[in-house]
Amino acid sequence: MTDVAQRVVAIAATVGLIILILELVRRKRLMERYALLWLFCSTVLLILAAWRGLLSTISFDIGIHYPPALLFAAAFGLELLLLLHFSLAVSSLTDQNKVLAQRMAILQRRLDEQAHQLAALSSGPPEENLAENSESELRTKLSRTG
């Protein structure tokens, strides 16, 4: 009896997980590329949970005498894979983020230079005055803030 209850709980949990993932994809909260891995993991777990004979056959074959333990082991292994996948994703995002920030700083510099040259061309005060002004302004600002 408890055996049946265990399977019902396991099946309900995995089915719930699959529905949650599909719903997140439907609402565009989760990208398909990440959803696929989750769906794969939960499907494997669902098969193991539902197919009583398979779970016990595999577990006895590899020397696990308590079939639900295999379910836990499989779930843990799959989650580890998912976590590794996320670490990879974070690493690549960090790298892309770095390149973007560097590119932005260099473009900003180029833009400022061009704006400066334009201002100098269209008859503004000489550059030295601008620099002096900003310096004295900065000094007063700094002295005010202490």
Kindly list the residues in this chain that would bind another protein in the complex (CB under 8 A).
94-96, 98-106, 108-109, 131, 134-135, 138, 142
Shortest gap between Cβ of 101 and another protein (angstroms)?
Answer: 5
Nearer to another protein, 73 or 131 (CB): 131
Q: What angle do CA 9, 15, 16 make, to 5 degrees?
A: 85
Give the 3-state secondary structure of 71-138.
HHHHHHHHHHHHHHHHHHHHHHHHHHHHHHHHHHHHHHHHHHHHHHHHHHHCCCCCHHHHHHHHHHHH
Q: How far is the CB of 96 from another protein (least distance, A)?
A: 7
Minimum distance from residue 56 beta carbon to another protein (Å): 42
Shortest reach from residue 117's CB to another protein, in Å: 9
